[in-house]
Structure 1
């Protein structure tokens, strides 16, 4: 007889395959194709591994990796919201919480609780791990937009002040990465791919 917990886990694994079909607004590096959430999550995990030495504080790298892999699963239900959207909050939406409860709730109870804790910790953004994970989440699209001559900034008419304010979260996890990001933002203005 197959254990019920295993069946629940397999159902969850099948369900999260849908993340591959969630299209983000940001495009791949130097490309016209939009990135999907699975690609984004994988890239953030790799960035966390490669850039972890630049964290301002000691972090549990495995926990950061879990955060960046889990945090966008809720978009299976809630969809991707553009960071710069004027008509909808990008942070802590009711739709995302409802999606987290449904999707993580497919898992065995203890595992579901752990996933929910990790997701909530990322969303709250107070722990060292969450601060660094959010740095990765904000840095990756910045790198993409600078590689795509302004990408979504141009497409949606996003101005310097908005980009600067949204990207400043990077500083909470890494001063060094923020200094780099700030240079990229300023250079984007000089190059004419970000309007001041």
Structure 2
């Protein structure tokens, strides 16, 4: 590995902090980097309560990298069909771009492939955590309302296939959804 390659990787990947997501943190948009950190925190808090052994390092790797493609592809809102049509293609191009400079390309591509295809229990858990985090952020977003286009039906269709893989994430999701509905946020 060359120092220049490492420097480019560090400066490019740090740009995840500048990618805005759909939900707010106070009076600004949440960044994809904040979302990734929050996912890591949630995973660390609950992984010991999942009734099966999971490799925490693998879960953390999936969550650290799961949205880095958004540096170049942007965040696609799943309530926007036009954005969702372009999502796969944009993210594939971004994956190729990042793979061209990241020092351990094989490791990066393996992590992304396993996560996207849900090839391991850890990648399934990481995806469930990704869904849980979005519900928590929505709950904490003072400006969120049921007028945002994120309906209970839409959220359930998108998240239930993932959160239902683990009893704990299913229970957390249902509790979060009940609160979101009660607060008219979905």
| TM-score normalised per structure 2 | 0.89
8 Å CA contact 2:23, 2:141 repeated in 1: no
Q: Equivalent of 1:187, from 174, 179, 182?
A: 179
- Which residue is 2:128 aligned to? 135
State how far apart, in whole Å, the 2-side matches of 1:54 and 1:155 are. 35
CA displacement at 1:45 relative to structure 2 = 1.3
CA displacement at 1:136 relative to structure 2 = 1.0
State how far apart, in whole Å, the 1-side matches of 2:6 and 2:121 are. 29
- Which residue is 1:71 aligned to? 66
Q: How does 1:144-183 map to 2 (within 5 A)?
A: 144-148=137-141, 151=144, 154-168=146-160, 169-172=162-165, 174-183=166-175
CA RMSD of aligned residues (A): 2.1
8 Å CA contact 2:73, 2:87 repeated in 1: no
1:8 matched to 2:5? The reply is yes
| TM-score normalised per structure 1 | 0.85
Identify the range of structure 1 (85-94 vs 55-64) with the bigger mean alpha-carbon deviation: 85-94
Question: What's the secondary structure of 1:27's corresponding residue?
Answer: strand
Q: How does 1:84-99 map to 2 (within 5 A)?
A: 84-89=79-84, 93-99=88-94
- Which residue is 2:19 aligned to? 22
- Which residue is 1:33 aligned to? 28
8 Å CA contact 1:20, 1:39 repeated in 2: yes
Q: How many residues align?
A: 185
The verdict on how the C-alpha distance between 1:183 and 1:26 changes in structure 2, with shifts beyond 3 A counting, is same
8 Å CA contact 2:24, 2:143 repeated in 1: no
8 Å CA contact 1:82, 1:90 repeated in 2: no
State how far apart, in whole Å, the 2-side matches of 1:149 and 1:13 are. 33
The verdict on how the C-alpha distance between 1:50 and 1:44 changes in structure 2, with shifts beyond 3 A counting, is same
Gaps of 5+ in 1: none
